[in-house]
C-alpha cells in the first residue's frame, strides 16, 4: 500500500503526526531528568551527618509496602503461599507461566524461614564507594546481612564489606556466565558458595523462562553436595508488585535492581535498615574516581535499570529517617542513632 508523504520530507504522514504529538507532550509534560553526580554530591554534603531515625516515617512506608506487596508473606515462594497445582505467572515475561507440579512444589519450604521482625539489618550493595570504606565491622554488627549477586568476600575486601551473610541473591545469569549453567562447573560453584556459610540463597527462578532451569540446578547441586545453604525462590508476585510500587514513585526502568528489591523487603522484615554500597556514580563525595563495583569496573548492561532514579528514592528515605544510607567512611565505633 502506498504511503502519503509530507511536502519537503520523506517521513510518512503518520510518523510526522506522531512526532508532533510527542513534541507537544514533552512541551506540556517535560521529561524528568534525574539528578547528576555533582548535584547529588552537593545534596549529600549539604545534608551532613545529622541523620535521625524517624519511626513515624518508617511505619508509613512499611504500611505502604505491606499493603501492596506483603513482603512478610510473599518474599519467597513457600508451600503456604503457593499451593500445588497453581498456575504461577512469571513477573519478567507477561505471557509465560508455570504450573506447580509435585517435583517443583517439594522444593519449597513450608513457610518463610526468617523470624519476623528481624532486628538490625544491613543491605550491602556492590558499589565502588565501598572500596576503602572500612565498613566491614559495622556491616557485620547487624543481626541480619543481605548481599547481592554473589559478591567476593575474600580477605582483601572484608575490611570494607565484612563477611557475615544471612541472605545472598543469585541472578541466574551469573550461573550461566560464571558456572556454565552448572553443567560442568558444579564443584567450583559449591566451593565459591562456601564464603557465605549458612546463608540462604535467594533466586528469581520464576521471573523468566531462561532463569528457571539454572535456579533449579542450584537447588539440586547444593543438595547433592550436602552444603549448609538453603535455596529460596523469589515469589514473582512480590517482585511484580514491588516493581509497580516504585514505578508509581518515579522509578521508570525495564526492571528494578536487585538492591532495590532487597531494600524493599528489608523495610518490611527489619526493625532498622542500614544500606551500604548504593552510589551509582563514577566519583565519590570527594570528587575521586571510583570503580563501578568495589571488586571490579564491569559496567552493567544499559537499558535495564534506572540506577540514578533508584538512588534518589533511597536518598529520600535516608533524609526522611526511614533507613540510613552509609556513604562516607565508617568510623571505628558507629554511634547509636536517636529516634524520633
Q: Which three cell numbers stand for residue 158?
A: 572484608
Prior bond of 15 cis (ω within 30°): no
Mean pLDDT calculated for residue range 42-62: 91
From CA 277, how far away is CA 129, in angstroms rounded? 6
Separation of CA 93 from chain center: 18
Mean pLDDT calculated for residue range 229-239: 97
Select which of 37, 116, 305, 318 is catalytic. Answer: 305
Residue 53 scores a pLDDT above 60? yes
CA angle 24, 27, 29 (to 5 degrees): 105
CB 123 within 8 A of CB 276: yes
Q: Which three cell numbers stand for residue 172?
A: 541466574
Which tens digits make up the pLDDT trace of 290-325?
999 999 998 877 777 889 999 999 999 999 999 999
Three-state SS string over 117-170 comes to CEEEEEEECCEHHHCCCCCHHHHHCCCEEEECCCCCCCHHHHHHHCCCCCEEEC
CB 323 within 8 A of CB 267: yes
User: 305 catalytic, yes or no?
Assistant: yes
pLDDT of residue 2: 33
pLDDT of residue 35: 60
pTM: 0.87
From CA 231, how far away is CA 289, in angstroms rounded? 37
pLDDT of residue 332: 59
From CA 193, how far away is CA 181, in angstroms rounded? 15
Confidence of residue 284 (pLDDT cuts 50, 70, 90): very high
pLDDT of residue 239: 97
Separation of CA 165 from chain center: 16
Which tens digits make up the pLDDT trace of 178-202?
999 999 889 999 999 999 999 999 9
Lowest average pLDDT, out of 9-13, 195-199, 251-255, 260-264, goes to: 9-13
Exposure of 95 by Cβ count < 10 A (0-12 exposed, 13-18 middle, 19+ buried)? Answer: exposed
pLDDT of residue 340: 52
pLDDT of residue 105: 98
Looking at every residue in the chain, the average pLDDT score rounds to 87
From CA 26, how far away is CA 22, in angstroms rounded? 6
The two beta strands, 87-89 and 97-99, are: antiparallel
CB 231 within 8 A of CB 183: no
Which tens digits make up the pLDDT trace of 285-299?
999 999 999 999 988
Amino acid at each position: 500500500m502506498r504511503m502519503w508523504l509530507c511536502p519537503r520530507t520523506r517521513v510518512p504522514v503518520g510518523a510526522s503526526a506522531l512526532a508532533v504529538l510527542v513534541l507537544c507532550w514533552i512541551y506540556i509534560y517535560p521529561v524528568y531528568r534525574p539528578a547528576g553526580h555533582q548535584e547529588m554530591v552537593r545534596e549529600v554534603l549539604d545534608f551532613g551527618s545529622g541523620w535521625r531515625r524517624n519511626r513515624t516515617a518508617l511505619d508509613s512506608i512499611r504500611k505502604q509496602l505491606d499493603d501492596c506487596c506483603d513482603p512478610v508473606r510473599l518474599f519467597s515462594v513457600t508451600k503456604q503461599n503457593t499451593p500445588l497445582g497453581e498456575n504461577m505467572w512469571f513477573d519478567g515475561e507477561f505471557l509465560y507461566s508455570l504450573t506447580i507440579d509435585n517435583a517443583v512444589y517439594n522444593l519449597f519450604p513450608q513457610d518463610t524461614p526468617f523470624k519476623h521482625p528481624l532486628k538490625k539489618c544491613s543491605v550491602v550493595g556492590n558499589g565502588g564507594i565501598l572500596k576503602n570504606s572500612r565498613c566491614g565491622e559495622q556491616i557485620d554488627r547487624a543481626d541480619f546481612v543481605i548481599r547481592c549477586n554473589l559478591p567476593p568476600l575474600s580477605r582483601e575486601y572484608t575490611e570494607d564489606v565484612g563477611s557475615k551473610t544471612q541472605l545472598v541473591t543469585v541472578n541466574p545469569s551469573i550461573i550461566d556466565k560464571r558456572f556454565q549453567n552448572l553443567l560442568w562447573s558444579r564443584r567450583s560453584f559449591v566451593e565459591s558458595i562456601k564464603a557465605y556459610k549458612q546463608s540462604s540463597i535467594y533466586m528469581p527462578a520464576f521471573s523468566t523462562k531462561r532463569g528457571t532451569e539454572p535456579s533449579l540446578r542450584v537447588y539440586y547441586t547444593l543438595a547433592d553436595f550436602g552444603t549448609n545453604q538453603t535455596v529460596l525462590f523469589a515469589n514473582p508476585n512480590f517482585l511484580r508488585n514491588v516493581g509497580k510500587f516504585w514505578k508509581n514513585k518515579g522509578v521508570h526502568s525495564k526492571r528494578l535492581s536487585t538492591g532495590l528489591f532487597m531494600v524493599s523487603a528489608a523495610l518490611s522484615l527489619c526493625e532498622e535498615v542500614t544500606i551500604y554500597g548504593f552510589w551509582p556514580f563514577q566519583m565519590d563525595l570527594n570528587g575521586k574516581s571510583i570503580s563501578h563495583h568495589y571488586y571490579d569496573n564491569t559496567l552493567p548492561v544499559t537499558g535495564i535499570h534506572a540506577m540514578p532514579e533508584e538512588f534518589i528514592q533511597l536518598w529520600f528515605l535516608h533524609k526522611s529517617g526511614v533507613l540510613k544510607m552509609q556513604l562516607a567512611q565508617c568510623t571505628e565505633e558507629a554511634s547509636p542513632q536517636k529516634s524520633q
